[in-house]
Chains A and B, each alone.
Chain A
Amino acid sequence: NAGVMQNPRHLVRRRGQEARLRCSPMKGHSHVYWYRQLPEEGLKFMVYLQKENIIDESGMPKERFSAEFPKEGPSILRIQQVVRGDSAAYFCASSPSYLQRPNTEAFFGQGTRLTVV
């Protein structure tokens, strides 16, 4: 059973370009979470999705950022018109059910490191 797969591992974009980050959850997991990590900091929650639905996007910047988790295919985090401040590591996690249920855990991918030049 493969873990959470993220690609690309590294992404370089010029200011103003678009960045697309992909996340394939673990098999059987229908809950996906995106986090952003700046250097020397912890992970900050961005968005929580279930298949075809955004459940909680309270951590997403209001502009330029969007996320989806379609019925088929990976979850996508999209950043339009990137700026230098978007440079960070973006992690995706998945879980089979709600995190507050006993023995329900979130597993993380290896992340995508976005560098905006």
Chain B
Amino acid sequence: GQQLNQSPQSMFIQEGEDVSMNCTSSSIFNTWLWYKQDPGEGPVLLIALYKAGELTSNGRLTAQFGITRKDSFLNISASIPSDVGIYFCAGTGGGNKLTFGTGTQLKVEL
């Protein structure tokens, strides 16, 4: 089946730093989405991308749909303590379902 490899697995950064994480696939995806999951909660959608090459921002978050349709990245600028959590990429390939990445755990040091 389709697999999404997400990196880094975890990050420990200082408040105010910029963060970058990415997601790669062995096969083409038609949509890319980025979710954040807080402990004990369900994933919350941050950004959705629908076209190859698309670059979309949501506040301090920016994500891009790779031109090859096999990758995507998420940047967070000027991180703050509430950015702590696990970030998942997800995508749709064949079929109406989301395939999730392995997650990037973000920890922010004050």
Contact = CB atoms under 8 A, between A and B. Distances in A.
Interface of A: 4, 31, 33, 35, 41-45, 48, 55-56, 58, 91, 93, 98-100, 102-103, 105-111
Contacts of A109: 42
Contacts of B92: 99-100
B102 interface: yes
A77 to B, nearest CB: 15
Contacts, number: 65
Given A99-B96, A100-B30, A100-B31, A41 B42 contact: no
Contacts of B95: 48, 56
Interface residues of B, number: 27
Nearest to A108: B42
A107 B50 contact: no
Contacts of B33: 105
